[in-house]
Amino acid sequence: MTNPLLADWQTEFQLPPFDEITDADFAPAFDAAMQAGRAAYAAIAANPEAPTFANTIEAMEQADDLLDRVAGVFFNLSGSDATPAREALQRDLSPRLSAYSSEIVNNKALFSRIETLWQDRDALGLTDEQSRVLMLYRRMFVRAGAALEGDAAARLTEVKSRLASLGTQFTQNLLADEREWMMPLDDLSGLPDFVISSARAAAEERGREGHVVTLSRSLIVPFLQFSDRRDLRTTAYEAWVARGANGGETDNRAIAAEILALRAERAGLLGYENFARYKLETEMAGTPDAVRDLLMQVWTPARAKAMADAEQLEAMLRADGHSAPLEPWDWRYYAEKLRRTAHDIDEAALKPYLSLDNMIAAAFDCAHRLFGLEFRALGVPLYHPDARAWEVTRNGRHMAVFIGDYFARSSKRSGAWCSTMRSQRKLGGDVRPIVVNICNFAKGDPALLSYDDARTLFHEFGHALHQMLSDVTYGLIAGTSVARDFVELPSQLYEHWLEVPEVLSAHARHVDTGEAMPQELLDRLLGAQNFDQGFATVEYVASALVDLEFHDGAAPSDPMQKQAEVLDALGMPRAIRMRHATPHFAHVFSGDGYSSGYYSYMWSEVMDADAFEAFREAGDPFDSDTADKLERFILSAGGREEAEALYTAFRGRMPGVGALLKGRGLAA
């Protein structure tokens, strides 16, 4: 029988034939794909003809087409619907794929062809996009160690292979801790109906009677907000922050230490002072000092705001008859009480207006008004019953397939993300993307979102737009293939449209009655936008600064001690913890993506606050000229130019931090 991963897909839009693929198909498909890739690269390297852009760079762009197809399916499934077989295969694949990548960059004949093109680049008659792609290939090879020789090259290959294995183990340990822990709820005191419903659904998903709290953020956060039982809040919170630090086989602390040591060694082999300097060289920030300067400009006012808020919350704690001090498991509970008092916002009254279906419709409607996109539901086989798919078109032209997978489950890692099963490119034909949004919302009938959940949905859909509107020739620079501290701009910018009153008026409709959100509730909601921003900013910036200090200097032998030292030096408020403590800091330790780069959300926020101001200046959040510039210079451009050039083309200048502080309510 033909392996469905290796056959030509005759499905609609050439979607993966999910109903035919089994776990047993992946290992032989990866073997065949890597064999095909090795043959393709060997042919390029051994080509007797002089190197040209077509026979070298364009050939390399297509060399891994089969591997990209197989990996696009596998890694999406392993993150969103893990099985023991997929987890075992991922552990096996991580070092093998790393070794495969090292083979390519260590192929001296291949690198020689790239270097020849680079030296002759001015005489090749390349387009601007081709010149950019050539530069990126050469930079990628050099930064991966292509110029190293002998023992140094061999050791770098070993280091990268070990890092790949450790990142996979870190992720799987975290998923195991999240999957195994639950707390039965015999006391539902203070919990609104939507939390009770979610706790019941979580119990059913785990084959239990009654109600349980799990470590899914979409369930544990509202539990911490509403449960009257301080002892239960304490137990749940301590379990949440202990993920990856429970001892035994799933403990991530030693893994984090080894990862940091190997990253420092990797940077040293490549001639860099430390890993942060290596990593930030290709980002907008450029240097650790530039990152630190931005974060500290935000930290100081955020900490002051958080400390003032803590005094209010502690007074409420005392009034309830509890002894001080305010603890981390108290903050969300009393902040929710204060929000109800200060803004008359009751999450339980708000959520019926924020159904999942209505918020999806809102995100689609904004994309239609801004960029002319249309969405048509597809009845195609997908990898899980929770997943849904839409065809995306514009003026009758197929633009993409969009898959949304929104509910938390024990087989899905925590968090929210956007990925692709196929990226856009024009080389070799008009290839349109398959884009996936993953969220972890609490399942309900119907599914109701918090306002933060709705922001997450818009955020991930902003990433999806970056992929769907991509319009480049080469896959290397398609969609979100941009500097890490630029990639969050489209996603964070798109969140702003959820704040537009006319969007909420149209789509925030009661799930039972269909009535629009009352104007006075809408006004109170928008008026509370900056509520508790001291807390939110402090927990984020603390995580970003710890990440930076881990990598800007010698690798710490004890990351937990280093974490404590950094937080102590910052004067971290007692009742706030890092958003992601080291043992569950997946952004930083599951792979290199956000290592030394967790700051990038804030770097992008400086731009997104300023970018949305462009629509305000135009007098219309859906101004067509501004939307056209946004698509032309940012959303469709991918990595066609340096990020600063793209942003400047859109806005005419780079922004300062003032708009961010104003947007968070932290301006003096």
List the structure tokens of 446: 């119907």
List the structure tokens of 507: 């789509």
CA 403 to CA 79: how far, in whole Å? 14
DSSP string, 40-74: HHHHHHT--SPP-IIIIIIHHHHHTHHHHHHHHHH
Catalytic residue check, 336: no
CA 451 to CA 497: how far, in whole Å? 13
CA atoms within 13 A on the CB side of 488: 21
Looking at 58, 391, 460, 605, which residue is catalytic? 460
Q: What is the dihedral of CA 216, 221, 227, 228, to 10 degrees?
A: 140
CB 333 within 8 A of CB 575: no
CB 525 within 8 A of CB 489: no
CA 20 to CA 395: how far, in whole Å? 33
Helix or strand run (H / E) with residue 404: strand 397-407
* 532 backbone φψ class: left, alpha, beta (φ>0; ψ -120 to 50): left
Sign of the dihedral through C-alpha 108, 109, 110, 114: positive
Residue 213, classed as helix, strand or coil, is strand
Sign of the dihedral through C-alpha 375, 381, 385, 387: negative
CA 198 to CA 211: how far, in whole Å? 8
Edge-to-edge, what's the strand order for the sheet holding 417-422?
Answer: 374-378, 388-394, 397-407, 434-441, 417-422
Query: CB-based contacts of 348: which residues, under 8 Å, 6+ apart?
Result: 192, 193, 194, 226
Nearest partner of 563 among 252, 298, 164, judged by Cα: 252
Residue 402, classed as helix, strand or coil, is strand
H runs (alpha helix) in 185-344: 193-205, 217-226, 230-241, 253-269, 275-280, 288-319, 328-343
Nearest partner of 403 among 427, 381, 387, 386, judged by Cα: 387
Distance of CA 235 to the CA centre of its chain: 28
Q: Report the catalytic residues.
A: 460
